[in-house]
């Protein structure tokens, strides 16, 4: 078997390192020619247009261009691309959207190393591979409306448009000073918005804000 090229796409370095270690720390590592990394969908697309990867391991929730749009974009240009989604979410929106975009597999991030290797081998052989939880979801009737995970319109309307904008920037790791500069507002105003958001969402700190932003699909 020819050695394969793999692209790992995830905005968290710790996750990329973990997947890379898993792939290299086993007897099948001899089959790997190279492993490249991308931190978002745009970078993944650019690399995929230059190199013919045998497998692309794609996260979903990423800045700039998410994994669903990146997968569709890559498949449009290179229909034979073998993309496996690796996500922490097992909800209908993510799963079915990735499948429709052209992903050949879908795994959860709590997947063990043996399952990851099995998925790669299966997809390389031309078949599709879904973890048990994902396969069960796909066997269920498709919801009439696919909604991003956890989106509740009533909760979403709690925040004003400006507060939603500030929350999105906080979740993308901008400081209050940087948010003020970007929005043309004073740091004091941003501080006030931040406190109002904390109060409305009933969370205690930045970690709580980021969790909410991810759950509600702001990032």
Domain CATH number, residue 190:
1.10.10.10
- Asked if the structure places residue 35 within a domain, the reply is yes
Residue 145 burial (10 A CB sphere; 0-12, 13-18, 19+): exposed
Task: Give the domain range for residue 135.
Answer: 4-139
Q: Which of 58-62, 155-159, 176-180, 210-214 has the lowest mean pLDDT?
A: 155-159
Higher per-residue confidence, 186 vs 91: 186
Domain CATH code at residue 31: 3.40.50.2300
**Same domain for 9 and 94:** yes
**Same domain for 86 and 43:** yes
By percentage, how much of the chain surpasses pLDDT 90?
38
Using DSSP, state whether 202 is helix, strand or coil: coil
The β-bridge relationship of strands 105-108 and 55-58 is: unpaired
E strands present in 101-180: 105-108, 129-130
Q: Which of 106, 139, 172 is the last residue of a domain?
A: 139
- Asked if the structure places residue 148 within a domain, the reply is no
Q: What was the pLDDT predicted at 155?
A: 44
Residues 16-69: pLDDT tens digits? 999 999 888 865 677 899 999 999 999 999 999 999 999 999 999 888 889 999
- Asked if the structure places residue 145 within a domain, the reply is no
Cα Rg, the chain, nearest whole Å: 19
d(CA 137, CA 129): 13
User: If you count them, how many residues does the chain have?
Assistant: 219
Residues 122-175: pLDDT tens digits? 999 999 999 888 888 788 776 544 455 544 444 444 777 788 888 888 888 889
d(CA 5, CA 51): 9
How many domains, the chain?
Answer: 2
| Model confidence pTM above 0.95 | no
- Residue 91 is given by DSSP the state -
């Amino acid at each position: 078997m020819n050695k394969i090229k793999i692209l790992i796409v995830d905005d968290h370095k710790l996750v990329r390192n973990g997947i890379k270690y898993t792939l290299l720390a086993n007897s099948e590592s001899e089959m790997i020619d190279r492993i490249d990394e991308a931190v978002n969908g745009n970078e993944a697309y650019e690399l995929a247009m230059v190199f013919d990867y045998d497998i692309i391991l794609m996260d979903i929730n990423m800045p700039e261009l998410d994994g669903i749009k990146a997968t569709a974009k890559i498949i449009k240009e290179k229909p034979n691309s073998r993309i496996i989604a690796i996500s922490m979410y097992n909800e209908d929106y993510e799963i079915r959207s990735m499948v429709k975009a052209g992903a050949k597999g879908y795994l959860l991030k709590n997947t063990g190393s043996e399952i990851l290797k099995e998925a790669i081998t299966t997809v390389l052989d031309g078949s599709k591979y879904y973890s048990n939880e994902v396969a069960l979801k796909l066997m269920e009737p498709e919801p009439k409306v696919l909604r991003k995970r956890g989106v509740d319109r009533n909760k979403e309307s709690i925040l004003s448009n400006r507060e939603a904008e500030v929350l999105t920037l906080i979740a993308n790791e901008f400081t209050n000073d940087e948010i003020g500069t970007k929005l043309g507002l004073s740091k004091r105003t941003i501080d006030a918005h931040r406190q109002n958001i904390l109060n409305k969402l009933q969370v205690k700190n930045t970690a709580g804000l980021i969790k909410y932003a991810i759950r509600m699909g702001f990032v």
